[in-house]
């Protein structure tokens, strides 16, 4: 495997991890906004307890992906920064308000009204950010970002405001919400609370299906390369078949209340969807003018980055394992009252 | 691309960095203070130190979260505002950025364990997590400063019309002067945070002289504040000597030196006038600059006039910022000397009203010096984004209407700044003595 493909795979890998971990935190914010019923407060408390220790860590996958992109494929980073300046700026605002408001809610103890205000900012930003992230992805695969030489010639709005991009935004939002609900069925100790999130996971699963269908139908017009890639490349077809199997499995496991397996199936499903995106646009970084090979850094830099990637993995993975072991859901019901 | 869009881009980058630096510095230094008081508490069994460490942990949590999101904004802004810079030099400086990412990861991971895992891990593991937070914070500041060193004095590549070729990432990562700049920056993080903390507790002690908790808190902050305040001028001098050799235009702007001369004077204060080439209102110390910069009273110092006018940095801004940094740095060093003298003679940290006033008034100086020093290096590098090879004006994005994001982020940062200050004030207020002599219960519900 050439080093540019390995680096490209690493970038895709960080986006998969960002979706599985950071995405689920955004999804938690969605369910905070949509908390309802007699256990409204308990739902929010569970979400806060699940996100609290890990959201900053999960968020770093995005930064790692960004750094790998500009270090490994600097031209692509420059093109995306220009073409998607507006949605990326809005995404930053979403990220800032999500993180800041969540922290302020935790430490601002002036009473319920203030907590509700911070909660609204946190959850509102959690809805907006995934949509923008999806819209950017949609723009990248759609083939409407055009580059001549080093200059972006397709403007600053049309690519990410197209119907196809909106559909990808909806898919990202429903996927993150689905992931969060699936994980929370396992985090919850109380049976009634589990049922709340089981219902939410099933609803969000349906939303994922509908959004994916919309993406597929709009791809024919809005992203012809993806449409072809979906139908022609056997690799992509295998990925999509795998996604379908994982989706059916998630539903079956939710139906039969095997919650410890639900989160695995949901994570596999979401991971395959993100990988499917990466595969469908391979070998392009920005369809159709920027390829992995055309944008990649010089060979010396590629080798050094692979070493840095190895060092980083050796340091970060054991630390992450430790973190998730410390904060794994307590096995005994009722032990989670320290929030 | 109008001139104003370039100014808005620079203003937005400057604002984002000026804001982020404060939180980043706190993210580097507060974990050290937090672990120190935690360790002191465990060793002495004194509950006040444990409480202090918990308060500092909460402060760290708030400041780190805002630092994390504002840092994310910056990593996007590198591309959003300076796509040509990143498009050409992203690969050259990718290595330190990647390693910073690793350090940021371990900092966030162990901070999560330290903050939320007190009851879930062994005391040893908890302490280890705190130490890891402090080490990772320092590492991440170290790596990101290497990027700035590269921009000031780039190496490790050959410039060409199509961008850098023959890239050697390891050479670029350790561009000339890296050892001075990284130590200077790390010290400034510890110094700014320790002075701010000392200022806060001095403020409380002026109003409540008997507040034992705050006496102890002061005893944690003062050693770090004093040591860094005394080391910083030494490192700063080494750094300036390096700048004198490697970036003579920057030194000339810092000192308001227009003419090349032997036995150049040191100009204290004053406001350089680029039209007349004079520095009115300055106090000259004869031969001072030649001695400080080259350790030789008759050494030649290059003046601004030796360089093309279109390569001059904004002289007045650089000079004034440099005066502020040196002035505040000297004041802090003096206070540190007096404080350590007191500590040595009386075997106790000072607590009299005069000294408390001095520490209260010095509280903001560390942050002021840090921001001023950062402005010196950034303004002093202009008009270049990568000195000598890429001008800032050539790096800026073609996206129009940059006033809109600038004002948006100005409002956002203002809002965040006010909120954070309010929250921190409330954290401190929770430790004030009440009438019955106890402490008020201002605990957040997060533990």
Q: Which residues of B touch A157 (CB under 8 A)?
A: none
Q: Which of B101, B119, B398 sits opposite A67 (nearest CB)?
A: B101
**Of the candidates A80, A100, A301, which has its C-beta nearest B169's C-beta?**
A301
Contacts with B132 (C-beta within 8 Å, 6 or more apart), sequence order:
A319, B106, B107, B110
Q: What are phi and psi of B432, to 5 degrees?
A: -75, 145
β-strand pairing of B384-386 with B261-262: unpaired
Contact residues, chain B, for A294 at CB < 8 Å: none
What pLDDT digit, counting tens, does each position of A18-42 carry?
999 999 999 999 999 999 999 999 9
* Residue A148 distance to chain B (closest CA, Å): 14
What is the rounded CA–CA span in Å between residue B15 and residue B57? Answer: 27
State percent of chain B over pLDDT 90.
90
- Give the span between the Cα atoms of A269 and A263, in whole angstroms: 10
Indicate the helix (H) or strand (E) that contains A151.
Answer: strand A151-152
Task: Yes or no: say if B60 and B82 are a contact pair by the CB < 8 Å rule.
Answer: no
Q: Nearest CA of chain B to the CA of A31: how many Å?
A: 20
CB contact under 8 A, A312 and B84: no
Nearest alpha-carbon partner for B174 in B189, B193, B152: B152
Q: What's the mean pLDDT in B149-173?
A: 94
DSSP for A115-141? HHHHHHHHHHHHHHHHHHHHHHHHHHH
Contact B98 A54 (CB under 8 A): no
Mutation site, B24, B31, B57, B79, interface A, largest A CB count within 10 A: B79
Closest CA–CA distance from residue A206 to any residue of chain B (Å): 32
Q: Count of residues for chain A?
A: 339
CB-based contact B105:A57 (threshold 8 Å): yes
Are B271 and B279 in contact, with CB atoms under 8 Å apart?
yes
Query: pLDDT per residue over B84-110, tens digit each?
Result: 999 999 999 999 999 999 999 999 999
Instruction: Find the CB nearest B87 among A78, A156, A315.
Output: A78
Select the residue of B399, B408, B423 nearest A82 (Cβ to Cβ). Answer: B399
B94, B408, B419 ranked by CB distance to A67: nearest:
B94
Long-range CB contacts for residues A290-294, cutoff 8 Å, separation at least 24: A290/A75, A290/A76, A290/A79, A290/A147, A292/A4, A292/A5, A292/A7, A292/A8, A292/A73, A293/A4, A294/A75
Question: Coil, strand or helix: which one is A290?
Answer: strand
Q: How far apart are the first and last CA of chain A?
A: 48
Residue A328: cis peptide before it, omega within 30 degrees of 0: no
What's the rounded Cα separation, in Å, for the pair B303 and B291? 16
Closest C-alpha among A285, A270, A287 to residue A224: A287
The lowest-confidence range among A107-116, A203-212, B221-230 is: A107-116
The answer to whether residue A226 scores a pLDDT higher than 70 is yes
Tell me how close the Cα of A83 comes to any Cα of chain B, in angstroms. 9
Nearest to B74 by CA among B86, B62, B84, B63: B86
The helix or strand, by DSSP H or E, that contains position A94, with its residue range, turns out to be helix A85-107
Q: A14, A68 in Cβ contact below 8 A?
A: yes
Query: CA B6, CA B82: separation in Å to the nearest integer?
Result: 10
**pTM of this structure:** 0.93
The answer on pLDDT for A338 being more than 60 is no
Check if the beta carbon of residue A63 is closer than 8 Å to that of residue A14: no
State phi, psi for A259 to the nearest 5 degrees: -70, -30
- What mean pLDDT value characterizes chain A? 91
Judge whether residue B439 has pLDDT over 80: no
- Cα–Cα distance, B325 to B188 (Å, whole number): 11
Put simply, the chain A residues between 261 and 320 with a CB less than 8 A from any chain B CB are: 297-298, 300-301, 304-305, 308-309, 311-312, 315-316, 319-320
In this prediction, residue B2 carries a pLDDT of 55
Nearest CA in chain A to B162: A150
Per-residue pLDDT, averaged over A64-69, amounts to 94
B340-343 CB contacts, 8 Å cutoff, 24+ apart: B340/B226, B340/B230, B343/B222
- Has residue A81 got a pLDDT over 50? yes
* Cβ–Cβ under 8 Å, residues B66 and A103: yes
Angle of CA points A282, A205, A210, to nearest 5°? 65
- The string of pLDDT tens digits covering residues B119-148 is 899 999 999 999 999 999 999 999 999 999
| Euclidean distance between CA atoms B6 and B385, whole angstroms | 12
- Rg of chain B over Cα atoms, rounded to whole angstroms, equals 23
Cβ contacts (< 8 Å) between B429 and chain A: which residues? none
Mean pLDDT over all residues of chain B? 92
Total CB pairs under 8 A between chain A and B: 221
pLDDT for residue B435 is more than 60: no
Exposure letters A19-47 (e unless 16+ CB within 10 A, then b): bbbbbbbbbbbbbbbbbeeebeebbbbbb
Q: Count CA atoms closer than 13 A to B229's CA, side-chain side.
A: 32
- pLDDT, one tens digit per residue, over A181-202 is 999 999 998 999 999 999 999 9
Do the strands A151-152 and A147-148 form a parallel or antiparallel pair, or are they unpaired? antiparallel
Question: What span, in angstroms and rounded, lies between the C-alpha atoms of B310 and B274?
Answer: 12
CA distance B335 to chain A (A): 34
Enumerate the residues of chain A whose CB falls inside 8 A of the CB of residue B122: none
Q: What is the Cα–Cα distance from B401 to B378, expressed in whole angstroms?
A: 24
pLDDT at B444 exceeding the cut of 80: no
Phi, psi at B98, each rounded to 5°: -65, -45
Interchain CB contact of A209 with B (< 8 Å): no
- The model's pLDDT over A84-117, given as tens digits with 9 standing for 90+, comes to 999 999 999 999 999 999 999 988 877 788 889 9
pLDDT at A89: 96
Q: Which of A58, A309, A326, A328 to mutate to test the interface with B (most CBs of B within 10 A)?
A: A326
For residues B410 and B15, is the Cβ–Cβ distance under 8 A? yes
The number of beta carbons lying within 10 Å of the beta carbon of residue B447 is 13
Supply the ipTM of this predicted assembly.
Answer: 0.92
State yes or no: pLDDT of A334 exceeds 80: no
d(CA A171, CA A160): 14
- Show residues of chain A in contact with B397, CB under 8 Å: 81-82, 85
Q: Find, in chain B, the residue whose alpha carbon is nearest to that of A321.
A: B109
CB neighbourhood size of A221 (10 A): 12
């Amino acid at each position: 495997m050439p080093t540019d493909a390995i680096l490209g795979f690493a970038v895709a890998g960080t986006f998969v991890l960002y979706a599985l971990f950071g995405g689920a935190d955004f999804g938690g914010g969605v369910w905070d906004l949509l908390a309802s019923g007699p256990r409204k407060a308990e739902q929010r408390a569970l979400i806060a307890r699940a996100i609290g220790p890990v959201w900053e860590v999960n968020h770093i996958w995005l930064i790692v992906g960004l750094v790998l992109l500009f270090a490994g494929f600097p031209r692509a980073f420059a093109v995306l920064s220009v073409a998607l300046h507006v949605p990326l700026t809005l995404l930053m605002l979403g990220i800032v308000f999500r993180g800041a408001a969540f922290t302020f809610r935790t430490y601002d103890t002036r009473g319920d009204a203030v907590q509700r205000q911070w909660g609204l900012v946190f959850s509102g930003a959690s809805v907006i950010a995934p949509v923008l992230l999806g819209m950017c992805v949609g723009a990248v695969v759609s083939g409407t970002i055009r580059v001549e030489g080093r200059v972006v010639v397709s403007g600053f709005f049309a690519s990410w405001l197209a119907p196809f991009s909106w559909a990808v935004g909806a898919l990202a939002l429903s996927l993150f919400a689905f992931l969060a609900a699936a994980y929370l069925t396992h985090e919850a100790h109380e049976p009634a609370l589990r049922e709340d999130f089981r219902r939410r996971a099933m609803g969000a699963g349906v939303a994922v299906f509908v959004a994916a269908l919309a993406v597929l139908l709009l791809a024919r017009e809005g992203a012809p390369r993806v449409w072809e890639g979906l139908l022609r490349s056997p690799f992509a077809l295998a990925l999509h078949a795998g996604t379908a199997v994982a989706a059916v499995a998630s539903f079956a496991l939710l139906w039969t209340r095997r919650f410890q397996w639900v989160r695995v199936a949901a994570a596999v499903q979401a991971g395959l969807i993100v990988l499917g995106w990466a595969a469908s646009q391979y070998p392009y970084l920005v369809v159709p003018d920027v390829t992995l090979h055309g944008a990649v850094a010089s060979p010396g830099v590629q080798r050094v980055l692979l070493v840095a990637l190895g060092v980083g993995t050796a340091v970060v993975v054991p630390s992450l394992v430790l973190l998730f072991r410390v904060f794994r859901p307590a096995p005994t019901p009722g032990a989670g009252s320290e929030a | 691309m109008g001139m104003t869009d370039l100014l808005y881009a620079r203003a937005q980058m400057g604002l984002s960095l000026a804001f982020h630096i404060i939180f980043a510095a706190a993210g580097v230094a507060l974990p050290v203070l937090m672990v120190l008081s935690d360790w002191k508490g465990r060793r002495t069994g004194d509950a006040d130190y444990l409480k202090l460490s918990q308060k500092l942990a909460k402060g760290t949590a708030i400041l780190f979260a805002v630092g994390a999101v504002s840092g994310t904004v910056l990593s996007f802004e590198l591309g959003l505002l300076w796509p040509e810079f990143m498009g050409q030099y992203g690969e050259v400086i990718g290595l330190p950025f990647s390693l910073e990412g690793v350090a940021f990861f371990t900092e966030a991971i162990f901070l999560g364990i330290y903050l939320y895992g007190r009851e879930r891990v062994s005391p040893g593991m908890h302490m280890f997590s705190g130490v890891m937070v402090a080490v990772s914070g320092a590492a991440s500041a170290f790596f990101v400063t290497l990027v700035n060193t590269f921009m000031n004095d780039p190496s490790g590549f050959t410039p060409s019309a199509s961008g850098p070729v023959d890239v050697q990432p390891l050479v670029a990562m350790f561009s000339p002067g890296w050892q001075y700049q990284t130590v200077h920056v790390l010290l400034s993080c510890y110094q700014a945070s320790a002075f701010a903390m000392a200022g806060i507790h001095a403020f409380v002690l002026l109003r409540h002289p008997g507040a034992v908790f705050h006496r102890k808190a002061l005893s944690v902050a003062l050693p770090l504040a004093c040591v860094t305040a005394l080391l910083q001028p030494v490192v700063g001098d080494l750094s300036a000597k390096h700048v004198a050799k490697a970036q003579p235009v920057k030194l000339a702007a810092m000192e308001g030196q227009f003419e090349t001369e032997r036995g150049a004077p040191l100009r204290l204060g004053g406001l350089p006038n680029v039209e007349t080439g004079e520095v009115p209102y300055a106090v000259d110390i004869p031969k001072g600059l030649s001695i400080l910069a080259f350790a030789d009273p008759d050494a030649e110092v290059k003046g601004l006039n030796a360089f093309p006018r279109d390569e001059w940095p904004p002289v007045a801004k650089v000079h004034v910022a440099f005066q502020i940094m040196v002035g505040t740095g000297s004041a802090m060093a003096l206070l540190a000397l007096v404080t350590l003298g007191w500590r040595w003679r009386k075997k106790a940290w000072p607590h009299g009203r005069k000294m408390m006033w001095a520490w209260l008034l010095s509280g903001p100086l560390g942050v002021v010096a840090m921001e001023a020093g950062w402005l010196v290096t950034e303004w002093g590098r202009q008009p270049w984004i990568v000195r000598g090879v890429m001008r800032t004006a050539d790096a800026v994005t073609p996206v129009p209407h940059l006033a809109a994001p600038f004002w948006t982020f100005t409002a956002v940062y203002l809002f965040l700044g006010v909120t954070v200050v309010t929250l921190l004030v409330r954290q401190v207020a929770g430790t004030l003595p009440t009438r019955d002599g106890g402490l008020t219960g201002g605990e957040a519900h997060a533990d």
